[in-house]
Amino acid sequence: MPVTKTTKRRVPQNLRKRAINQKRVLKMRSLVKEANVLISGKSKAELIKMLPEIYKAIDKAAKIGVIKKNTAARKKSRITKKIDSIK
């Protein structure tokens, strides 16, 4: 349990930040999952329209420190590679 005043104030701050971080991660993951479903359905046109939104979610997560920059780059690279493999 927190003892000092500042640590007591940090508890609700940490809860708010955790909620925001989880929201970013969930949005990013859901977009990637949705893209993977479309990849299996082979609808390349929809994926190309969706790609900027996926990039935006990944970049925002990396910007605020939810994921690392290299992780973001790897995720973007892999999703692009999958989309390009569709004929």
Predicted confidence (pLDDT) per residue in 1-41, tens digit = 888 999 999 999 999 999 999 999 999 999 999 999 999 88
Q: Do 64 and 25 form a contact (C-beta atoms < 8 A)?
A: no
Could you tell me the CATH number of the domain that includes residue 73?
1.20.58.110
Rounded to two decimals, what is the model's pTM? 0.85
Using DSSP's 3-state secondary structure scheme, residue 22 falls into helix
In terms of residue numbers, what domain contains 50?
Answer: 5-85
- In the block, residue with structure tokens 């493999």: 85
- 86: which 2 tokens? 């569709």
User: 47: how many CB neighbours lie within 10 A of its CB?
Assistant: 22
CA distance 49 to 28: 16
| Domain count for the chain | 1
Query: Does the pLDDT of residue 87 top 80, yes or no?
Result: no
Per residue in 64-76, pLDDT tens?
Answer: 999 999 999 999 9
CA distance 61 to 56: 9
